[in-house]
């Protein structure tokens, strides 16, 4: 996909995620919106995957450690054809294959169950280590939240991944500056996260997480660096491009009504038209 197509895909992922959340009436809007461009780049271009064969032996893995943002992942999976878009309407309802938090035993295309923050770092390290041991030609992609990165487990993993030189582990932090109930700087400030990972022995960069070309380049550059795990800190906006969420302070988990939903979808449709017209 080219940049224009990826930007359209990102807007479609936001649309699909909102649809998924809407049916149950409430959900993790903020953090789902902030990672839409990353989902577009990974699923639209970067990852070696086969939606018809989700367990393909040498596939790339994606571990979304901030597992509460399942709706954004499900939006991408549905649009890629892992399951019907209509199934998004079942998110978090009885008997669904799409629980709000990612579950590898239920959802085609989900590589790891997540939701207990911090654990995805450990499971991604296990996957990357296992892949190397089994001589698989693949990458393990990992998405961490910034609030999640206040967990000690993340930093223990960071030490271990560097020690083991896991250069097929490419991690992202969705640095949207907010966690569940406020700003990181008010709760537990991470300071210069990029530098911290560098000091822990990682190849680390910082990009605009809503710039698909910058994300693609950062991933390409990461693959050229051998002997170190990779961290791409994505500067993002919590609730990005969602009319009823972007400017709201507490936009981590939200309920919204039909009117809010329709306005948000209309704004996303308008954005898609403007991208198509080359205006953004």
The contact set with ligand TPP (CB under 6 A) reads 28, 30-31, 34, 66, 68-69, 115-118, 145-148, 174, 176, 178-180, 238, 252
Handedness of CA 64, 118, 140, 134 (dihedral sign): negative
Q: Give me the least distance between CB of 192 and ligand TPP, in Å please.
A: 17
Q: Which is nearer to ligand TPP, 163 or 255 (CB)?
A: 255
Q: Which is nearer to ligand TPP, 116 or 255 (CB)?
A: 116
Which residue from 184, 185, 188, 206 is spatially nearest to 197, judged by alpha carbons? Answer: 206
The two structure tokens encoding residue 70: 């399942």
Q: Give me the least distance between CB of 150 and ligand TPP, in Å please.
A: 8
The two structure tokens encoding residue 233: 């800190």
What are the b/e assignments for 62-91, b being 16+ CB within 10 Å?
bbbbbbbbbbbbbbbbbbbebbebebbebb
The two structure tokens encoding residue 22: 């809407």
User: Could you please report the per-residue DSSP string of 126-188?
Assistant: HHHHHHHHTT----EEEEEETTGGGSHHHHHHHHHHHHTT-TTEEEEEEE-SEETTEEHHHH-
Q: Give me the least distance between CB of 31 and ligand TPP, in Å please.
A: 2
Q: Give me the least distance between CB of 116 and ligand TPP, in Å please.
A: 5
Q: Which is nearer to ligand TPP, 35 or 212 (CB)?
A: 35
Q: Which is nearer to ligand TPP, 165 or 177 (CB)?
A: 177
- Which residue's Cβ lies closest to ligand TPP? 145
Nearest-angstrom CA–CA distance, 69 and 273: 26
Nearest-angstrom CA–CA distance, 144 and 157: 12
Q: Give me the least distance between CB of 90 and ligand TPP, in Å please.
A: 22
Q: Give me the least distance between CB of 65 and ligand TPP, in Å please.
A: 8
Q: Which is nearer to ligand TPP, 90 or 179 (CB)?
A: 179
Nearest-angstrom CA–CA distance, 128 and 125: 5
Q: Which is nearer to ligand TPP, 5 or 211 (CB)?
A: 211
Q: Which is nearer to ligand TPP, 36 or 49 (CB)?
A: 36
Q: Give me the least distance between CB of 164 and ligand TPP, in Å please.
A: 24
Instruction: Report yes or no: 143 and 149 within 8 Å, Cβ to Cβ.
Output: no
């Amino acid at each position: 996909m080219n940049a224009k197509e990826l930007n359209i895909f990102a807007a479609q992922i936001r649309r699909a995620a909102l649809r998924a959340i809407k049916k149950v009436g409430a959900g993790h809007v903020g953090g789902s919106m902030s990672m839409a461009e990353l989902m577009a780049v990974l699923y639209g271009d970067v990852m070696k995957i086969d939606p018809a064969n989700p367990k393909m032996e040498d596939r790339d893995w994606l571990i979304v450690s901030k597992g509460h943002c399942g709706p954004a992942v499900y939006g991408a999976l549905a649009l890629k054809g892992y399951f019907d878009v209509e199934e998004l309407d079942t998110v978090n309802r009885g008997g669904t294959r799409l629980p709000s938090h990612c579950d590898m035993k239920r959802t085609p295309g989900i590589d790891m169950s997540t939701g207990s923050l911090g654990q995805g770092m450990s499971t991604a390290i296990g996957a990357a280590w296992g892949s190397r041991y089994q001589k698989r030609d693949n990458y393990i992609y990992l998405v961490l939240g910034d609030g999640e990165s206040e967990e000690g487990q993340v930093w223990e993993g960071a030490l271990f991944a560097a020690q083991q030189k896991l250069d097929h582990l490419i991690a992202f932090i969705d640095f949207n500056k907010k966690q569940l109930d406020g700003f990181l700087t008010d709760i537990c400030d991470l300071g210069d996260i990029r530098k911290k990972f560098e000091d822990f022995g990682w190849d680390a960069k910082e990009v605009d997480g809503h710039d698909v070309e910058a994300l693609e380049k950062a991933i390409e550059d990461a693959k050229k660096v051998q002997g170190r795990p990779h961290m791409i800190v994505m500067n993002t906006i919590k609730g990005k491009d969602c009319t009823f969420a972007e400017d709201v302070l507490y936009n981590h988990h939200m309920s919204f009504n039909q009117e809010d939903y329709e306005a948000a979808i209309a704004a996303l449709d308008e954005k898609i038209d403007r991208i198509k017209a080359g205006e953004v």
